[in-house]
């Protein structure tokens, strides 16, 4: 609906209509009405009776010889303008056309009889003029009637629409405010009245929502506002629409309460962040346990086996077997050390993100010597990030590299780390097999969801692009000073 509160404008719509609408009425519609005279209207028959009376008067004057006076020759015919014009004004073309036809039919005998006594050309010209007036005036009145009826019908429909809107406006539970172009509050519904109090109509959009009319109609107006009412804090999503009432722009703002939704979202974010933090703490604990107990025990056994293999009491075969056992223990120790470092990389804590990522690439090359060629570059001035940011980027890189090497089977993998003034960007690209990143994740793709969640919890975002021509690219953006769980 185009009007928000325009009852005054609607009241005038039934009588005022644009003259240009008259000429737009189809001629076919006008002519079709001429074929349906108002036969049930008594005024129509009264008009036809007057035509009959004028015809009889003309015939009587002609028979009585009075018509031969020059001044009376065209008088009865001229009087036909009265009923024809009245029929046009009252009924339009479908009344005037029937009246003109009736007058013509009745006047033909007068022309024949009168033509024997005097020149009937004057009567004939007058009759033609009567018919022309009937058609011209009738079609004009007919067009005006059709246009006016259409305007009244539109006004009636608009009034019904306005009534339905006002009913919805008053009954909806969401607060609705209407502002004029200057930001003055001109209308509110009961829900807004209850939220802001009786003084709501005395306040502006800046005082109520901390936004000007221009900001309400821009992208900012579709965001959220935080309001305090009754000692409680509420969050609302603004749904803004612009309309005109009586040619004056108005801004309508519907406030959708998202307090519970936002609270649930924040609770979920905080829970996920706490879950990740607990997971990392458990990884760190397991890494310490592996390093402090099993790894040290294995290294101790390996040292004793080394001493035993050099004993003079053993023959060469036994010493060789003991040396082989020692090598297996050392291999197992290295595996446990790599596992512990993967759970909690010490380079990340002591040397920073870039050094830890280089170590991650080196570990991948040792683990998959037949794998792809790995490259890394760093741009910008390196700075230490918050521990959770460095750990989050490291885990994302760890998952992305593992997915690339194991699933995509690429020939080249490139990792780029870019430090900007307020954010950091990590890009991991490979030229291997591709997939649809928008598809619903399967069980084998839950790592992608975990990467996105990590980036979101750190206040950033993660984007994945994959196409056969360009390979797969993982982009992670994190703000340097964002709070965990912010949106």
**Mean of the pLDDT values across residues 281-295?**
72
Enter the pTM of the model. 0.48
Does the pLDDT value for residue 193 go beyond 80?
A: yes
Residue found by looking up tokens 């076919």 in the block: 28
- CA-to-CA distance for 284 and 151, rounded, in angstroms? 78
> Quick one: which of 422, 440, 435, 423 has its CA closest to 474?
435
Q: Taking the CA of residue 343 as centre, how many other CA atoms within 13 Å lie in the half-sphere pointing to its CB?
A: 19
Quote the pLDDT of residue 375: 93
Two tokens, residue 235: 């969050």
Tell me the sheet residues that pair with 239: 254
The residue-averaged pLDDT of 190-207 equals 87
Coil, helix or strand at residue 425: strand
Say yes or no to pLDDT of 371 above 70.
yes
In this predicted structure, the answer to whether residue 413 has a pLDDT above a threshold of 90 is yes
Instruction: Read off the pLDDT of each residue in 210-229 and give the average, rounded to a whole number.
Output: 75
Tokens of 276: 């990740």
DSSP 410: -
369/53 Cα distance (integer angstroms): 119
Answer yes or no: is pLDDT of 378 > 80. yes
Reported as a single tens digit per residue, the pLDDT across 106-155 is: 777 766 655 445 556 666 777 788 778 877 777 777 777 777 888 888 88
Mean pLDDT of 9-25: 45
Residue 451 near residue 400, CB atoms below 8 Å: yes
* Tens of pLDDT, residues 53-101: 877 877 776 666 655 554 455 556 677 788 888 887 887 777 777 777 8
Helix (H) or strand (E) holding 463: strand 461-467
Asked whether the beta carbons of 448 and 476 are under 8 A apart, the reply is no
Average pLDDT over residues 343-354: 80
Q: What is the DSSP string of 9-31?
A: HHHTTTT---THHHHTS-HHHHH
Cβ–Cβ under 8 Å, residues 367 and 326: no
Asked whether 212 and 194 are in contact (CB, 8 A), the reply is no
What is the reported pLDDT for 477? 92
Across 20-29, 33-42, 425-434, least confident range = 20-29
pLDDT of residue 25: 54
- DSSP line for 114-145: HHTTS-THHHHHHHHHHHHHHHHHHHHHHHHH
């Amino acid at each position: 609906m185009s009007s928000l509160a325009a009852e005054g404008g609607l009241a005038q719509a039934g009588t005022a209509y644009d003259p240009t609408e008259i000429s737009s009425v189809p001629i076919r519609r006008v002519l079709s009405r001429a074929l349906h005279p108002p036969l049930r209207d008594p005024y129509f028959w009264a008009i036809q009776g007057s035509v009959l009376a004028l015809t009889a008067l003309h015939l009587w004057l002609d028979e009585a010889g009075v018509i031969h006076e020059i001044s009376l020759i065209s008088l009865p015919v001229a009087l036909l303008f009265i009923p024809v014009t009245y029929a046009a004004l009252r009924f339009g073309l479908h009344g005037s056309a029937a009246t003109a036809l009736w007058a013509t039919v009745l006047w033909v005998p007068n022309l024949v009889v009168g033509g024997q006594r005097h020149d009937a050309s004057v009567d004939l010209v007058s009759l033609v003029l009567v018919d022309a007036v009937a058609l011209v005036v009738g079609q004009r009145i007919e067009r005006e009637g059709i246009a006016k009826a259409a305007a009244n019908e539109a006004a009636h429909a608009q009034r019904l629409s306005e009534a339905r809107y006002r009913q919805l406006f008053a009954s909806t539970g969401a607060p609705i405010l209407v502002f004029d172009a200057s930001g003055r509050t001109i209308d509110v519904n009961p829900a807004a009245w209850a939220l802001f109090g009786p003084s709501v109509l005395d306040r502006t959009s800046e005082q109520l929502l901390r936004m000007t009319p221009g900001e309400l109609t821009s992208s900012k107006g579709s965001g959220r506002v935080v309001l305090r009412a009754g000692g409680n804090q509420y969050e609302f999503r603004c749904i803004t629409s612009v309309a005109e009432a009586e040619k004056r722009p108005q801004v309508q703002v519907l406030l959708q309460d998202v307090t519970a939704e936002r609270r649930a979202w924040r609770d979920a974010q905080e829970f996920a962040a706490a879950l990740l933090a607990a997971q990392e703490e458990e990884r760190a604990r397991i890494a310490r346990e592996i390093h402090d107990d099993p790894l040290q025990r294995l290294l101790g056994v390996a040292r004793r086996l080394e001493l035993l293999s050099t004993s003079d009491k053993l023959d060469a075969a036994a010493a060789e077997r003991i040396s082989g056992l020692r090598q297996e223990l050392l291999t197992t120790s290295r595996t446990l050390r790599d596992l512990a470092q993967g759970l909690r990389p010490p380079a990340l804590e002591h040397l920073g993100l870039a050094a830890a990522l280089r170590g991650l690439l080196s570990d991948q090359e040792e683990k998959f010597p037949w794998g792809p060629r790995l490259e890394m570059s760093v741009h910008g001035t390196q700075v230490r990030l918050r521990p959770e940011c460095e750990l989050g980027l490291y885990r994302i890189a760890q998952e992305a590299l593992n997915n690339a090497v194991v699933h995509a089977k690429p020939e080249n993998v490139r990792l780029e780390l870019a430090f900007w003034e307020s954010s950091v960007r990590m890009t991991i690209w490979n030229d291997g097999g591709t997939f649809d990143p928008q598809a619903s994740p399967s069980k084998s793709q839950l790592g992608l969801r975990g990467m996105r969640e990590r980036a979101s919890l750190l206040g950033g975002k993660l984007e994945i692009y994959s196409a056969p021509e360009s390979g797969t690219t993982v982009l992670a953006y994190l703000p340097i000073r964002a709070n965990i769980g912010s949106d």
